[in-house]
Amino acid sequence: MNQTLLVVQMEQSEIKSVSIAIKYCYKKIIFDQENRLTYTKYLEQILEEQTPKEFLNTFKQLRAFSYGQSDWNWFDINESIVLSLSSNNSASFWSWLACHPNGYVREFALKKLGAESCSNTLPFLLITLNDHVENVRELAKQEISNSFIQENKETILFSFPLIKRLKSLEQKENLVIYDQLNNYLLDDFDLLQKAQESQDIYISRYGFELSFRIKEQYRTEVLKNGLKKTDRIILSWTFKEIQKEEHWEEQYLTQLLNHPQMIIRKLACEWCYNNRDKEERMISTLLDQTTSIKYLALDYVEKQFPEIDCREYYLQHLKENPINAIHGLAILQDKRDQERMLPLINSHKKKIRVSVFNWIGCLSFEEQLPVYIDCLSDPSRDVRNKAVDQLMNHYSLPIKEQLIPLFKEKKEARFQLSIIKILGEESRKDYFFDLVSLYVYAADQLVKDKIEQQLVGWMLSWNRRFFFRFCLKDKVELAYLVNKNYEEYSSGVLDVMWKVLRAK
């Protein structure tokens, strides 16, 4: 939240957004006549503290008309009121009035802005180019060229996304302004460079979009800057532009295959896969950290270099690049690696333990089962979830018979919570009795709360109400549990149990 909004909020707790803060400032300036200079300064600061996207949202909120109650007399501002205002008001005062729902107010504000050489007005003129009132649009069109030439660089940079937006607006005459402003920008490479470096992604993207159209002398520098970015869209554009370069494979391909950003490496690998035979530079991508790239590289090497044993390649790189080499072995799922892979389930590195899970599918489920059970208490949520998913997919009575005693013996919250989730695969009645009986063995309050939550959910579920009936034997067993563990059950668990006992 920007500092100006915080200051205004200190005065009025009802102010929850920038647009409401602006309306409040106008109420103070126009209707209450209090601290005019202070609130006018706030109006100026609000624009400086917003991003282009936030500015557009604020504009839409200010323009929105309602027949309901007006916020801070915003709809009470009309033609007669603005005519009575002092002509000494600052540009920031008139700028935000260009976003008012009343067309006469917008028109008057634009005339005031046009009568003086004002800075920071370009964003307001750009959004007004799509106004539904023709007179207002014409005023903005007349002023925009002069404003652009006189405007400071920071405001022009701020306006980059608003200029790009002109191309998609309803008023097609804006295309003339769009082309005119783009021609100004294309002649100012220093400004385009600042746009490329902007922290605002929309400014940066449009800076690159324009930069790819500039003269040849700057092209290499633009491509270099593009490869430094992290935004996927800019990187994709840069890759396409690089492909337009003569002999780009010799100059760029090695760099692209080893680029720090995944999107560039993947695009380069896909290009090699579809366009190059026997490309030796693809062999090194067998050790890429991204799974999809590794799969692509494996398929490519197996087809183009049948003499290379990919398993041996990974084994050769185990010492220098263990994580990616083990991941590659996991993809191959070769049973010959059993003695090497299974002990790695105890590795302190999560990625290696996940790789073991990917590899273990080549074993029989009987061999996999002990590993899955051990991993139910793994410190990594990803590993635990993989173990839980596998046990749920293969759930059976023998698995339950192993899990229940372990729940009681192993007083570890993560382990017990995983078992509670797995038991949800059994019949609803069995699940109810298991939750009730296991409650007293919970490792901590977190596990108890989870069991209680599951019991309450079980009681409210539609299949419980319509299909379950408890026979006398069930109720006797339940009553026995109540009597035996009454002191240990919470009130919520007891409430569910009493409802079952009273049910007909």
Contact partners, residue 456, CB within 8 Å, separation at least 6: 492, 496
What is the 8-class DSSP label of residue 244? T
Dist CA 112 CA 109 (whole Å): 5
CB 101 within 8 A of CB 70: no
CB 243 within 8 A of CB 274: no
Cβ neighbour number for residue 456 with a 10 Å cutoff: 14
What is the identity of the amino acid at 154? E
Q: What pLDDT, on a 0 to 100 scale, did the predictor assign at position 321?
A: 95
Residue 70: CA count within 13 A, CB half-sphere: 14
Only one residue has tokens 């240990």, namely 488
- 228: tokens are 């430094």
Tens-digit pLDDT profile for the chain (504 aa)?
A: 566 766 666 566 677 889 989 999 999 999 988 888 899 999 989 988 999 999 999 999 999 987 777 778 999 999 999 998 877 788 889 999 999 999 999 999 999 988 776 778 999 999 999 899 999 999 999 888 778 888 889 999 999 999 999 998 877 778 889 999 999 999 999 999 999 999 999 999 999 999 999 877 899 999 999 999 999 999 999 999 999 998 999 999 999 999 999 999 999 999 999 999 999 999 999 999 999 999 999 999 999 999 999 999 999 999 999 999 999 999 999 999 999 999 999 999 999 999 999 999 999 999 999 999 999 999 999 999 999 999 999 999 999 999 999 999 988 999 999 999 999 898 878 888 888 889 989 999 999 999 988 888 877 775 555 456 777 887 788 888 888 888 888 888 888 888 777 766
Phi first, then psi: give them for residue 90, nearest 5 degrees: -75, 170
The domains of the chain, with CATH numbers, are 248-308 (1.25.10.10)
CB 383 within 8 A of CB 357: yes
Dist CA 86 CA 34 (whole Å): 15
Identify the CA nearest to 276 among candidates 301, 311, 310.
301
What is the identity of the amino acid at 449? D
- Between the two ends of the chain, the Cα-to-Cα distance in Å is 58
Identify the CA nearest to 95 among candidates 26, 181, 27, 32.
26
Dist CA 498 CA 482 (whole Å): 9
pLDDT digits (tens, 9 = 90+) for 403-414: 999 999 988 999
Identify the CA nearest to 109 among candidates 65, 62, 145.
62
Identify the CA nearest to 176 among candidates 136, 137, 212.
137
CB 256 within 8 A of CB 283: no
Q: What pLDDT, on a 0 to 100 scale, did the predictor assign at position 480?
A: 85
CB 327 within 8 A of CB 355: yes
Share of the chain above pLDDT 90, in %: 67
The 3-class SS string of 142-175 reads HHHHHHHHHCCHHHHHHCHHHHHHHHHCCCCCHH
